[in-house]
Amino acid sequence: MSYYYDKTPALGAGLARCVMRFILTQIKSRRGLTTFMEHRGVNGRWLKPDDPYNVRVTKLLKIMEIKAHYQDDDEFLDDWKEIGEFILHIVRNPNIIHFL
């Protein structure tokens, strides 16, 4: 049986959920980006930051590729810098995950 038929579970509590929520919140904060992604084949249910799914890396890379096409270079690199700073903050302060 192929993994295409397996249901994608929601992310449980932890670092992965915090990072995915941060990335999806970034996507939702850009006006028109969600619609742009949906027109290029990304299902909108994968883009909900309230209940992030444990998506495959290929799907996440497709989302980031489309995001890179939508944003200009400086915007995209600023977003990556924010993601990196967020991950460093969480990794260095593991107790903060309980408050996010």
Q: Where are the domains of the chain?
A: 10-99
Tell which residue, 64, 56, 75, has the closest CA to residue 37. Answer: 64
The model carries a pTM of 0.81
pLDDT tens digits in sequence order for the chain, 100 residues long: 566 667 778 788 888 888 899 999 999 998 999 999 999 988 888 889 888 988 888 888 999 999 999 999 999 999 999 999 998 998 888 777 655 5
pLDDT at 98: 59
Q: Please state, in angstroms and as integers, the Cα–Cα distance from residue 43 to each residue in 37, 49, 51, 80, following that order.
A: 8, 14, 14, 22
pLDDT at 94: 75
- What letter would DSSP give residue 8? P
Residue type, 1: M
pLDDT at 8: 78
Query: Environment class of residue 37 by beta-carbon count within 10 Å: exposed (0-12), middle (13-18) or buried (19+)?
Result: buried
- Where do the DSSP E strands lie in 9-62? none
